[in-house]
Structure 1
Amino acid sequence: MDPGTSEKRVVEMEEIVRLAKARGFIFPSAEIYGGFRSTYDYGPLGVNMLRNVKNAWWRSMVQLRHDVVGLDAAILSSPKIWAASGHLENFTDPLVDCRNCKERWRADHLEPGPDGRVHCPNCDSTDLTEARAFNLMFKTFAGPVEDESNAAYLRPETAQGHFVNFSNVLRTSRKRPPFGIAQVGKSFRNEITPGNFVFRTREFEQMELEYFVPPADAAKWFDYWCNERFEWYVDLGIPRDMLRLRAHDKDELSHYSAGTSDVEFLFPWGWGELEGIANRTDYDLKAHSAASGEKLEYFDQATGERYTPYVIEPAAGATRTMMAFLIAAYDTDEVAGETRTVLRLDPRLAPYQVAVLPLSRKETLLPTAQEVLGLLQPVAMCDYDETQAIGRRYRRQDEIGTPLCVTVDFDSLEDRAVTVRDRDTTEQVRVPIDRVVEEVRARLGG
């Protein structure tokens, strides 16, 4: 089978949700109070994996490139930013209310029934209000008085921080187009119909790059980033046949976009967006320049040309990307006549890369097990588990995606060696303790 394709069975979303909660990836937020709709907390495994997803993105987009620098902009921002960017006017959904059951729906998500009329998805009533625009930004107030002079907004995207800091970054980084500004951070959208677990939530994390290019080169760089971003998901373990690149039709394009393509993933409910790559043209820089009175341009000293760069924007959701990696990695097989669940996560994404497992809780074994743990912790994220039978502990580590288990047994006290077990093959090899770090590094890819 081509390693870039998948032949395993289709995963049900309920399996992922159940695993996420049972093993500590994702919990419903405020669950002891009945929950809070469309909000989630990331548990001990989830916070590790989400951090790994973001670190993998940052490594690819910033660390391994010479033409991209980082930024961490404020979440609270001036209303002037959102007026200039068009969000106050254009960042809206058309909403209708059901007069019968009082539920609210996005009008563009409702299709007429066989009778030609639009029905409420909740109660089937056709008594719906006219559609009206609803702005998706969360509004708050900065200061002691709640009036319009103190109005502020939680950012609905991280991108505007890149644009308003364009001159600052250009001056301090001494970069020149083509160059990019990368950011990972929280965004907030008051979605009316969130759902599908963490796919669409009101609070989420984005991984965004704004790549500034000469206008004549925009088409070339748009194609470049479409390919780069698609291959990033493949490199980290998503089969090619679970991904596709879909160009937006003209009626789908945002008001700033000259062209957009989405990297889509085959979720259990169908194709859904992981990342959008957009040619934002010079819309944002010119809009902020006009609103602020500050020139947001680049002057090429070599040619004497002054221009406003075009922007190519790859923008991904960290949380939905993590969910896609979980779904793609979820598998079942048979080991020793028993069915096991296994997450075949790339080691770069796995919550733990290594689990150190003393065969017994007897005091004679624990000092050696903790010695091995101490050797491995500087080179990998490690779990340590000394309870239950060793077979059950192996199954648990398989289910949470740990690539390697290192078992310390009673022979270890004599031969100063441990057993290293591979998650995917279940093969085991005996390795001297003084070589265990070298062995683990080699198996994890460096």
Structure 2
Amino acid sequence: MSNIKPEDFFKNVISHSKEYGFIFQSSEIYDGLSAVYDYGQLGTELKKNIRDYWWKAMVQLNENIVGIDASIFMHPTTWKASGHVDAFNDPLIDNKDSKKRYRADVLIEEHIAKIEDKIKKEVEKAAKRFENFDEAVFISTNARVKEYQEKIDFINTRFKTALNDNNLEEVKQIIVDLEIVDPISGSRNWTDVRQFNLMFSTSMGSVSEDANTIYLRPETAQGIFVNYLNVQKTGRMKIPFGIAQTGKAFRNEIVARQFIFRMREFEQMEMQFFVRPGTEMEWYEHWKQTRLNWHLSLGLGKEKYRFHDHLKLAHYANAAADIEYEFPFGFKELEGIHSRTDFDLKQHEQFSGKKLQYFDPELNQSYVPYVVETSVGLDRLFLSILASALKEETLENGETRTVLSIPAALAPYKAAIFPLVKKDGLPELAESIMKDLKFDFNIAYDEKDTVGKRYRRQDAYGTPYCITVDHQSLEDKTVTVRHRDTMLQDRIKIDALPAFLEERVGIKSLLKTL
């Protein structure tokens, strides 16, 4: 689908997700709930397979990393200690004419993106005019491009300074000076910028009073930090060691968009790695590369990923970087790697009055460990795989087929079994094969329509292999196995199918690439 515009391709991804049972709008019969989505029958399987691959790579393959499952509800003081009560805010601005609310930082980022598009167009025009075109030299020497880049740098510096100083008046002034208009009304009639806390609150107990206010967790990391000493002691863990967790988190995003990229209810896969103070940067670099290698093992294309090192650090970090992925709407954060220092554990020590120190027998002393975090959004990872996999191909006969080239080990169905016709004992043999395989693999069974239509249906599901049982199968106990990506076919013994599939679609096939 390389010939269509990114925004049109993204619409195809969303449409395909619904049509084939991957993702539905939540509460759709009631006109939906904004930025909340339900995973359908195929989406649930794909999401589970991604989660399992992360867990096995993170926990099962690392002897010094274990997993926990902390509660969504936590003591409210947890979020006071972590800084979320006072500092977990987005700068918001309203347009007085459209009555719409926007994140001020998003408006500025979108303005910068438009300037970056101008640079891209200048590069594309120059590339067509000159042979042996050197993009880096052109960008550094072309007067117009340099002017665009200087403008971007100026805006970024001014904006980051304003955020660091919490100068909301300056943030609004930047929007005014850039002459940013409301995309709906087209006006520049903006309110002042103000901060909005992103945590969802609710009440625990029968009386709705401030004392009973608790929060839906905005991240899973704090559940790890408050349990760090429990895990260390009961598991007899020695520094360095990690604690992993997957689970739901909730953020009251005012501007939630781009399908499942930014939602109000989402799933995180996080690992907190506890290290000796002074060694954190070594481990930070280790986990940056380790996590990038994990993403590359999916085979979506090395050019689709890049690191973005943070210039403005969170209050808890001394180093931070994002692994960004090129979604249909541009490079965006997929996973964060942060050196969190000892901030979290010391905050919880202070607010709880409990010691959270580790006794290091090698040093014969106690200290609060430093922490290196890896945090990836499962929903964003799901979207990156889905968007990368969706293709429309023109066949030799002029027909087109839609195919999801999902990594085979992650595909919802590992194989589909077809009886060629619904008679002559073929359905019975096909069902017998399915019953033998389904203990180890998620198998689809399909006997409706022609085999060609069944192939197309399974291509759209992302099923790596289609197994057809025909009359020859009754004679020599062989079947035809058709490969999704190449459409080539092999003749394979029925009793060889388990080993054939295990080698190609088992999660071990991905783990071995790490």
User: Is TM (by shorter chain) over 0.5?
Assistant: yes
**Helix, strand or coil at the partner of 1:348:** helix
| Structure 1 match to 2:19 | 22
Pick one of 42, 45, 49 that aligns with 2:46. 49
Q: Provide the C-alpha distance between the structure 2 equivalents of 1:405 and 1:195, rounded to a whole number of angstroms.
A: 36
1:288 pairs with 2:348: yes
* TM-align CA RMSD: 1.8
Q: Cα deviations across residues 7-28 of structure 1 (Å, max 9, x unaligned)? A: 9987610111111111111111
Quick one: which amino acid aligns to residue 232 of structure 2? Answer: L
Secondary structure of 1:144's counterpart equals coil
Partner of 1:322: 382
Determine helix, strand or coil for the equivalent of 1:122. Answer: coil
- Which residues in structure 2 correspond to 1:208-223 (within 5 Å)? 208-223=270-285
Whole-angstrom CA distance in 2 between matches of 1:204 and 1:320:
9
**In the alignment, is residue 93 of structure 1 matched against residue 90 of structure 2?**
yes
For residues 332-343 of structure 1, the aligned pairs below 5 Å read: 332-337=392-397, 338-343=399-404
One-letter identity of the residue aligned with 1:168: N
Q: Secondary structure at the match of 1:55?
A: helix
Deviations 1:279-304 (A, max 9, x none): 00000000000110111111112321
Structure 2: distance between partners of 1:377 and 1:341:
26
Determine the C-alpha separation between the residues in 1 that align with 2:380 and 2:84.
23
In structure 2, relative to structure 1, the CA distance for the partners of 1:83 and 1:206 (3 Å cut) is same
Alignment of 1:31-430 (within 5 A): 31-111=28-108, 116-249=178-311, 251=312, 253-337=313-397, 338-362=399-423, 364-430=425-491
Distance 1:148 1:115 in 2: 41
Shift of 1:334: 3.3
User: Shift of the alpha carbon at 1:408?
Assistant: 0.9
1:189-213 per-position Cα deviation (integer Å, ceiling 9, x unaligned): 0000000010000000000000000
Q: CA deviation at 1:101?
A: 2.7
Cα distance, 1:100 vs structure 2 = 2.5
Q: TM-score, normalised by structure 1?
A: 0.95
Does the CA-based 8 Å contact 2:477-2:494 persist in structure 1? Answer: yes
C-alpha separation between the residues in 1 aligned to 2:299 and 2:306? Answer: 15
SS at match of 1:51: helix
Greater than 6 Å deviation, 4+ residue runs: 6-10
TM-score (norm 2): 0.82
Report deviation, 1:217.
0.8
Structure 2 distance, partners of 1:8, 1:296, is: 56
Whole-angstrom CA distance in 2 between matches of 1:131 and 1:231: 40
In 2, Cα distance between the equivalents of 1:228 and 1:50? Answer: 22
Task: Supply the AA of the counterpart residue of 1:194.
Answer: A
SS of structure 2 residue aligned to 1:383: strand
CA–CA separation in structure 2 for the residues paired with 1:222 and 1:10: 38
Aligned residue type for 2:463:
T
Q: Distance in 1 between matches of 2:46 and 2:440?
A: 17
Residues 85-94 or 399-408, more deviating: 399-408
Alignment-derived partner of residue 3 in structure 1: none
Distance in 1, matches of 2:290 and 2:19, equals 35
Aligned equivalents of 1:382 and 1:181: distance in 2? 34
State the 1:115 CA deviation: 6.7
In structure 1, C-alpha distance between the alignment counterparts of 2:2 and 2:301, rounded to whole Å? 9
Higher helix share: 2
Describe the superposition over 1:104-144 as per-residue Cα deviations: whole angstroms up to 9, x where unpaired. Answer: 11122234678754533321333322111110000000111
Comparing 104-113 and 23-32, the one that deviates more: 104-113
Deviation, 1:336, is 4.2
In 2, the alpha carbon distance for the partners of 1:8 and 1:280 equals 43
For residue 356 of structure 1, what is the amino acid of its counterpart? Answer: I
Query: 1:332 Cα shift?
Result: 2.9
Give ranges in structure 1 of 5+ residues lacking alignment: 1-5
2:503 and 2:351 map into 1 onto residues whose CA distance is 55
Moved more, 311-320 or 295-304: 295-304
| Matched residue SS, 1:355 | strand
For the residues of structure 1 that align with 2:314 and 2:413, how far apart are their CA atoms? 40
Once structures 1 and 2 are overlaid, which stretch shifts more, 97-106 or 13-22?
A: 97-106
**CA distance, structure 2, for counterparts of residue 108 and residue 235 of structure 1:** 33
Aligned mates of 1:117, 1:8 — CA distance in 2: 33
80-89 or 337-346, which deviates more: 337-346
Aligned 8 A contact 1:237 1:325 in 2: no
Would the aligned equivalents of 1:189 and 1:202 in 2 still touch at CA under 8 Å?
yes
Compared with structure 1, are the counterparts of its residues 336 and 377 closer, same or farther at alpha carbon in structure 2 (3 Å cutoff)? farther
Gaps of at least 5 residues in structure 2 are 109-173, 510-514
Farther-moved stretch of structure 1 (104-113 vs 419-428): 104-113
Asked if 1 retains the 8 angstrom alpha-carbon contact of 2:409 and 2:504, the reply is: no
The answer to whether the 8 A contact 1:237-1:345 is kept is no
Q: Tell me, in whole angstroms, the C-alpha distance in 2 between the residues paired with 1:329 and 1:28.
A: 21
Partner amino acid for 1:216?
G
Change (3 A) 1:438 1:110: closer
Match of 1:443 in 2: 504
**Greater Cα offset, 10-19 or 84-93:** 10-19
